[in-house]
Structure 1
Amino acid sequence: MCCVVLGLALAGAAWGQTQSQQTPSQQLEEVRENALAATTSYQPMEVMGMQVWIDPVTGQMRPPTPAEAAKLSAEMRKLFGARSQRGEQPQSVREQTLANGTVMLELGLGHLDFSVVHQRPDGSLEYGCVDDSHRALSFAQQGSQSPATAQPEVQ
């Protein structure tokens, strides 16, 4: 408690010294600049979602049913397999520098990884990271025991 009070007192003294060296109009201009910097440095982000199956009766996470797994597989193929089926080359890396100095890279579909959770029969969860949609589906259904998920990063 004493350290916190002392820290606040020192911070207040330092702030007072800084403020006393500025005229009120300079102080107001500094506040405006800080507010402008705070609002212009904000960059909206697109966040990818995660899909899990929740049992409607128990409300607990569960493996997908065969119908759900088939639907997911079809959607994954539609979303991520079309490029390879058409024989297109992977997209080149696109770099963009944001106003706040952040460098953003758009890597394309060939660089996607899938974080997957498999619920074991004992109820424990197995987490894995795989690099294609077929391995992701296989891991979700069978965990690291699936032949299709050889060498996943398991935690």
Structure 2
Amino acid sequence: MAPIAAGDSLPDGTLAHFDENDQLQQVSIHSLAKGKKVVIVGVPGAFTPTCSLKHVPGFIERAEDLKAKGVAEIITISVNDPFVMKAWAKTYPENKHVKFLADGSATYTHALGLELDLKDKGLGIRSRRFALLVDDLTVKAANIEEGGDFTVSSVDDIIKALA
């Protein structure tokens, strides 16, 4: 399956998270993105060095800049279970805008065509690192990394795509 690209329609999928009352919830990507401008950030794994120290913190730090440019939702997705995503989100106490959603079985990652096979490293199937800019369910920018790189999916790259 070819990776999602600019001009494609965003596939729907159901992801899990814990709400503010600590209740496990299922949420449809389309319910978060329909009629809105959203950024979807995909990472290979919670608590991994590049994801935790560079990729996600950039979106947390620049969330107000994204909001000022019309972004309604900033969503981080990882092939981890919702308990891990909840614990990871708590490591960013300053976060007020980025949602942490779990794709535990990589079903949504597969629908995007963005699986990354890391079985040889003991990590199983994960997600490629990416950042998507989506406007009313249409992908406007698909910044997808090769391998473990972090060169095209930063918050700065998404802000440039919003210009």
User: What is the TM-score when the length of structure 2 is the normalising length?
Assistant: 0.21
The higher-RCO structure (CA 8 Å, 6+ apart) is 2
Q: Which has the higher strand share?
A: 2
User: What is the TM-score when the length of structure 1 is the normalising length?
Assistant: 0.22
Q: Which has the higher helix share?
A: 1
